[in-house]
Structure 1
Amino acid sequence: MASGGGQSFLDKFAEVSAKIGNQVHLRSLRDGFATIMPIYILAGIAVLINNVVFPLFLTDDALAAAQYWGNAVTLGTLSFAAILLCGVIGYCLANNKRFGNAIACLVVSICSMVIMFPQTLTTAVANLTYAVSSGDSAVASQTLDASVLGATADTISYTGDVTGMISTTNTGANGLFCAIIIGLVATTVFIAFSNNKHLQINLGEGIPPAVGKSFSVMLPMLITLSIFAVFSALLQGLFGTNLPAIISTAVSAPLMGLMNAGPWAVIVIYTVANLLFCLGIHQSTISGVLAEPILTMVIVENMALYAAGEPIPADHYMNMQIINSFALIGGSGCTLMLLLDTFIFSKHKASRDIAKLSILPGIFNINEPVIYGYPIVYNIPLMIPFVIVPDIFIAATYGLTCLGWISPCVVQAPWTTPPVLSALLSTGMDWRAAVWQVIEIGIGMAIYLPFMKVSEKAQQHQLELEQQANEAAGHAQAA
């Protein structure tokens, strides 16, 4: 009875968790981040080459010229990531809702986000020029004389309001939360208007499909963008603010503060996520929705700071790369350690056969063969280390980073990067991080080993019971 009740609870827990993870807006958020992940990886490679590789053999002017390449990549990826994410989330939400014109949702999302940006920026400007004579093109502008501002020639600058500019503060890592909210809201509003047949313009047959789709959503698009423009005007006119500033203060700062207050929130999320994986539901259903977007924003900010040569603040030590490099060695649950234990200590033929098939994917952090083939799913002894080993490594790596024993993660390396190399890349080639990852492998093997032996004994016992049952059935038939 207790077993049945426990099983019923696990089934209900898995069912509710799956429904949460598959909710259309959350699924679209996860899909959106997965879609633009390659640009973060490219940015990480560029940052690493700019700040580690080029300085090894280039100096002064040659270094600055070479780093222009990496700076260009950063500008087109990290500094523009929020705009891209906003559009992609709109596109993914449209696809997940089976809306027939997903590309229009991408356009609406990006336009809506830019509409909500402030039209005037307060900024410091150096190397100023000013118009001398609008009618004389030969002297259209000159460098502003220092005496005008009462400053020395080499420190001349001016702080004031500038129009016709968009700040990378809003388009880059700091604008990702704004991109998420606007992408989801703008697309939802646009789809609602588009489904109203009275707002659809039908040009009839015989016109190109792209033109027909464009006219069909013209009025919904105009209405949606107008609503966002009115909202933007009201925020500025009544309160002197804008939506990105509000979201940054009221949403992104508290959530990032929760994740960066220590490892505990992340540990709780990944404990639940890995427990679900043991019940057959992929861990990304939970972690991919609740943790990865926020932790990805932090590592993106770290890359931008590292590219600019600035120190990484302590509240940015917990980020997605700590998870990928140090808590997912061999995949979810750090199952590479289980495979190594199996090769060295196991005498169970079935386990060794699965390990032979799984070791190569495991080196590249792909472990579905282990999850479902070993198996770990519904295997109580192996569920325990599968859940606790990543938690230990999250806490330990965060602690070592806080102590300064390993460098903070500053590069988003591909999640398929093998161990040791992933630690080097993610920390800007800190050899101490690679040593720590090797130590992690040893610790993980030590934790997995007794549970592996218990699992094998349980499997052997189950096999013996099945053989006895088969023999009993054979005797009964013979009699």
Structure 2
Amino acid sequence: MASGKGQAFLDKFAEVSAKIGNQVHLRSLRDGFATIMPIYILAGIAVLINNVVFPLFLTGDGLAAAQYWGNAITQGTLSFAAILLCGVIGYCFAQNKRFGNAIACLVVSVCCLVIMFPQAVNTAVSNLTYAVSAGETGAATQTLEAVDIASTLGIAEDASVTTAATGVISTTNTGANGLFAGIIVSLVATTIFIKISSVEKLKINLGEGVPPAVGKSFNVMIPLLFTLSIFALVAALLHGIWGTNLMDIIATCVSAPLKDVMNAGPLAVIVIYTVANLLFCLGIHQSTISGVLAEPILTVLIVENMAFYAAGEAIPADHYMNMQIVNSFALIGGSGCTFMLLLDTFLFSKNKASRDIAKLSILPGIFNINEPVIYGYPIVYNVALMVPFVILPDIFIAVTYGLTCMGWISPCVVQAPWTTPPVLSALFSTGMDWRAAIWQVIEIAIGMAVWLPFMKVSERAQAKQLEEMQNAA
């Protein structure tokens, strides 16, 4: 354990990091993603079955019929992700702010997000169906092919013909591409709503003789109307003056730059996880930092990858870095890749206490749960073991990203459950790429080689401490 100025620095570092992780907006963001994580995992399983399992034994119409199942799940999860996340974050923010009507914040968040959607959607026209007799009810219809449309309009056959459709909402906005808008709108809308709700004169109190749900809804009716009106005014001004909408602005000015930061090589992700794992060594869970600074953006990227994969599209290079690279290849056995430490302990350790901890920890470790190792081995404040705990994930993030860029392993396209055991997690996350599984086995071997000398140093230090204690007694 550090002492003097070093200890004071570590304490201050931990204090500042904890304050960042507990900031109410960031904490609500982390809680929101954690709440709907099972939906993304279900979507990943459906995408994997649709694109890998069904094609093994089905073709043609049979394959299309079977894939309807997975497409239905994708439509209800990935295509609706922005609205789901928006509502859940609004709810979590209200809970973290200890606001008395959290469900109203969910409603406000979703309504405000939909208000900000464009009211007309430009869509490509491939075929045009029209009534032969416009004035006759039930008249026969005729379909005009894309080539004929181009000929009629006097444009090139390969030119894009679009039309503005009204009365529809594009899944581009409700799905993965709208996640950042959902995050921003939920936090802003809920903040405004809670602030207006604190004005006593705007509350409508129906007394105690009405059902609680009715009383609560009337209590926030005026603040709700004000909040929705504010967002509607913003949407109208953006459309009327600048001819744009909030979704396009956020996509250009917020989501694109944040994704660029994460995909300008693995440096940003490595820095965040270095700090996060160092904090874990000081007793503060790594999600305090990584869960609020990196995981939301990286999760958006893997969700978008699932949408690309489900549509049969190639994964763009700027989506190679995502949450699944971290979960599958840099957190083997949990934070710090402690699964390899457990294997070293079984094979090479002669320390009875360490072996007893390893016996208790190996089953959770297989499923990437490693708190028993971190606090029982222990790794917390164990300087010798802190080194591999921090550096191994950094190495694996960088190398896995490099292998993906070189095409040696496939990009991650499925958000597998974080408890998926090693090898299986590599297969599932890359759409069953056997090369990824081999790389993960190589990672385990590398991790064991890195952990071994530090484990030996730690055991020598423990033996020396025990000897000194016995001599002192």
Q: Normalising by structure 1, what TM-score?
A: 0.95
Structure 2 match to 1:50? 50
1:134, 1:140 within 8 Å by CA — same for their partners in 2? no
Pairing of 1:281-430 with structure 2 (within 5 A): 281-430=284-433
Q: Tell whether 2:30 aligns with 1:27.
A: no
1:127, 1:156 within 8 Å by CA — same for their partners in 2? no
Q: Quote the sequence identity (%).
A: 80
Q: 1:157, CA displacement in angstroms?
A: 7.9
Secondary structure of 1:118's partner?
A: coil
Structure-2 separation of matches of 1:361 and 1:147: 63
Structure 2 match to 1:270? 273
Q: Which amino acid aligns with 1:26?
A: L
Structure 2 match to 1:453? 456
Secondary structure of 1:100's partner?
A: coil
CA RMSD of aligned residues (A): 1.6
Give the alignment partner of residue 434 of structure 2, picking from 427, 431, 436. 431
Structure 2 match to 1:80? 80
Structure 1 match to 2:96? 96
1:122, 1:159 within 8 Å by CA — same for their partners in 2? yes
Q: 1:125, CA displacement in angstroms?
A: 2.3
Distance 1:143 1:214, change over 3 A: same
Q: Normalising by structure 2, what TM-score?
A: 0.96
Structure 1 match to 2:151? 150
Aligned pair count reads 468
Structure-2 separation of matches of 1:242 and 1:264: 33
Secondary structure of 1:121's partner?
A: strand
Structure-2 separation of matches of 1:148 and 1:261: 43
Q: 1:126, CA displacement in angstroms?
A: 2.5
Question: Residues 368-424 of structure 1: CA distance to partner in whole angstroms, max 9, x if unpaired?
Answer: 000100000000000000000000100111111111111110000000000000000
Structure 2 match to 1:477? none
Structure-2 separation of matches of 1:151 and 1:81: 40
Secondary structure of 1:98's partner?
A: coil
Structure-2 separation of matches of 1:434 and 1:148: 50
Structure 2 match to 1:200? 203
Q: 1:147, CA displacement in angstroms?
A: 4.7
Structure 2 match to 1:63? 63
Give the alignment partner of residue 442 of structure 1, picking from 440, 445, 461. 445
Secondary structure of 1:139's partner?
A: coil
Pairing of 1:111-190 with structure 2 (within 5 A): 111-133=111-133, 136-139=136-139, 141-144=141-144, 147=148, 149-150=150-151, 158-190=161-193
Structure-2 separation of matches of 1:128 and 1:50: 31
Structure 1 match to 2:254? 251
Structure-2 separation of matches of 1:187 and 1:56: 47
Q: 1:166, CA displacement in angstroms?
A: 1.0
Q: 1:446, CA displacement in angstroms?
A: 0.3
Structure-2 separation of matches of 1:124 and 1:200: 47
The 4+ residue runs of structure 1 with deviation greater than 6 A are 154-157
Structure-1 separation of matches of 2:364 and 2:472: 37
Q: Which amino acid aligns with 2:287?
A: S
Secondary structure of 1:126's partner?
A: coil
1:275, 1:383 within 8 Å by CA — same for their partners in 2? yes
Structure-1 separation of matches of 2:368 and 2:137: 62
Q: Which amino acid aligns with 2:79?
A: S
Q: Tell whether 2:108 aligns with 1:105.
A: no
Question: Residues 279-298 of structure 1: CA distance to partner in whole angstroms, max 9, x if unpaired?
Answer: 00000000011110111111
Structure 1 match to 2:241? 238
Structure-1 separation of matches of 2:449 and 2:160: 61
Q: Which amino acid aligns with 2:61?
A: D
